[in-house]
Amino acid sequence: MNNIAFIGSFPSANLCPNDERPEYAFIGRSNVGKSSFINTLSNRNALARVSKQPGKTQSINFFLVDESWFLVDLPGYGYAKVSKKMRAEWDYMVKTYLRTRTTISCIFQLVDISVPHQENDIEFINWLGACGLPFILILTKADKAKEPEVLKNMEGLKLALGNYWDELPRMVLTSANTKLGREEVLEIISKANEAFANY
């Protein structure tokens, strides 16, 4: 990855750029580390806006990498302090974007692995599955808990998913702080870009 540029913030799926290049969307609970991981991937500190305060990212943000593919930062779900109406709007914006965008090559579903998973994580993962959308799980904040804790949380997540999935989704353990998992995710993107070009 040599060059990355912020393209714009879009309030709804139908206003996103008309473009044929593949894109990679980042979804997950508010505060899970979506914006941080985009910064880690791109080796930039403040490209995508990060905050301790949940609910930082509020629209669909496009970043163009090497003129050839997009990283898309999305607002997170499950932020308790927003109104019912705002949550419904979020749900509509994000799910419409994910369902209708034909150029999505892969969705990165982030789950905070420093704490036990939450029910809304399982629900969202199952929604992706029900829609037949391609995704992998990015387990974030691996540096934030001790290893046995991380392993326990991973087991818990696998167990919960096992109730619904015959074959578990691919998972990558990551940290925005130590850059763990960065190379693996870049490799996944690179392979997916090739597959997308041949499709």
Instruction: Dihedral sign for Cα 159, 163, 166, 167, please.
Output: negative
DSSP string, 140-190: E-GGGS-HHHHHHHHHHHHHHHHTT-SSPPPEEE--TTT-TTHHHHHHHHH
Write down the least CB distance from residue 56 to Mg ion, Å: 5
**Token reading at 174:** 């990551």
Write down the least CB distance from residue 3 to ligand GTP, Å: 22
Cα–Cα dist 159/155, whole Å: 6
Q: Which stretch binds ligand GTP (CB under 6 A): 126-134, 140-148, 158-166, 186-194?
A: 140-148
Other beta carbons within 10 angstroms of residue 144's beta carbon come to 16
Q: Hey, which residues between 165 and 184 contact ligand GTP (CB under 6 A)? A: 175-177
**26 versus 196: smaller Cβ distance to Mg ion:** 26
Query: Which residues have CB under 8 Å from 4's CB, separation 6+?
Result: 42, 44, 47, 63, 64, 65, 66, 71
Task: Let me know: does 78 contact 87? Beta carbons within 8 Å.
Answer: no
Q: Which stretch binds Mg ion (CB under 5 A): 6-14, 49-57, 108-116, 151-159?
A: 49-57
140 interacts with ligand GTP by CB under 6 A: yes
Taking CB within 5 to 8 Å according to partner kind, which of Mg ion, ligand GTP, none is near residue 117?
A: none
Cα–Cα dist 110/37, whole Å: 9
Q: Which stretch binds ligand GTP (CB under 6 A): 26-34, 62-70, 95-103, 157-165?
A: 26-34
**35 versus 140: smaller Cβ distance to Mg ion:** 35
Q: Which stretch binds Mg ion (CB under 5 A): 20-28, 50-58, 154-162, 190-198?
A: 50-58
30 interacts with ligand GTP by CB under 6 A: yes
Q: Hey, which residues between 91 and 120 contact ligand GTP (CB under 6 A)? A: none
Interface with ligand GTP by CB under 6 A: which residues?
A: 28, 30-36, 50-52, 54-57, 75-76, 140-141, 143-144, 175-177
